């Protein structure tokens, strides 16, 4: 089992079940995945900002820093004040982000229904008219028979020209 699959199993299911309860984060079980994604992104930004601020101090007072571990602990110590704010901002953003995603998917589906599906149906209708559609076994058989006849006629002409010693430069059918 890979790490992402294992991590995904730790998160709540996006589809609610009868026993699901609202977690401590004050977000619905259906919004939990979005919440954790936003929290993760905000934490990375906050840690990067704090680390950037600390790095200037680290460069100036290098005697104070003995290792990268010391630097990481100092950054995490500064982060404790920011952590609660990150969680609150994520709680406020979770539902609007999910709603915007639902609206975007609705618009996408409406555009597909309006512009793409008619083109697909048009091409299917043209295929049915030519006898090459999925449901037209007779049309496909007729098309194969016509193609076979064209190839046989071409091959006869080629063989006749070869027997008579003439140059045969006619291209094969369908080329």
Q: Which has the closest alpha carbon to 26: 87, 99, 73, 103?
A: 87
Give the whole-angstrom CA distance, residue 25 versus residue 38. 13
Predicted local confidence at residue 49, as pLDDT: 81
- What is the model's pTM? 0.48
Q: What is the pLDDT of residue 36?
A: 87
Say if residue 133 is exposed, middle or buried (CB neighbours under 10 Å; 0-12, 13-18, 19+). middle
CB neighbour class for 90 (10 Å; exposed up to 12, middle 13-18, buried from 19): buried
Q: Any idea where the domains of the chain sit in the sequence?
A: 24-130, 137-175
Is residue 75 a contact partner of residue 51, using CB atoms and an 8 Å limit?
yes
**pLDDT per residue over 9-59, tens digit each?**
666 666 666 556 555 666 777 788 888 899 899 988 888 887 777 766 655
Predicted local distance difference test score (pLDDT) of residue 153: 92
Per-residue pLDDT of the chain (175 residues; tens, 9 = 90+): 576 676 666 666 666 665 565 556 667 777 888 888 998 999 888 888 877 777 666 555 555 556 767 767 777 777 777 888 888 888 889 889 989 999 999 999 999 999 999 998 888 877 766 655 454 667 667 778 888 898 999 999 999 998 998 888 888 887 7
Please give the Cα distance from 169 to 175 (Å, whole number).
13
Residue 115 confidence (pLDDT): 94
Q: What is the DSSP letter of 26?
A: S
**Any idea what the Cα angle at residue 33 is, between residues 5 and 28, rounded to 5°?**
135
Burial 19-57 (b: 16+ CB within 10 A, else e): eeeeeeeebbbebbbbbbebbeebbeebbeebbeebeee
Question: What's the pLDDT score for residue 10?
Answer: 65
SS3 of residue 162 by DSSP: helix
What is the pLDDT at residue 82? 82
Give the model's pLDDT for residue 109: 95
Can you give the pLDDT at residue 9?
A: 64
């Amino acid at each position: 089992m890979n790490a992402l699959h294992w991590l995904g199993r730790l998160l709540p299911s996006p589809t609610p079940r009868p026993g699901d309860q609202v977690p401590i984060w004050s977000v619905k079980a259906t919004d939990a995945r979005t919440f954790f994604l936003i929290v993760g992104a905000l934490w990375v930004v906050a840690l990067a900002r704090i680390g950037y601020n600390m790095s200037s101090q680290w460069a100036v007072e290098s005697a104070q820093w003995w290792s990268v571990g010391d630097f990481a602990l100092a950054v995490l110590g500064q982060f404790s004040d920011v952590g609660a704010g990150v969680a609150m901002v994520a709680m406020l953003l979770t539902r609007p982000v999910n709603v915007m995603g639902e609206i975007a998917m609705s618009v996408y589906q409406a555009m597909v229904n309006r512009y793409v599906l008619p083109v697909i149906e048009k091409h299917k209708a043209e295929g049915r008219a030519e006898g090459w559609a999925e449901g037209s076994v007779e049309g496909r058989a007729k098309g194969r028979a016509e193609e076979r006849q064209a190839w046989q006629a071409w091959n006869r002409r080629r063989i006749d020209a070869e027997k008579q010693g003439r140059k045969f430069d006619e291209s094969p059918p369908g080329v």
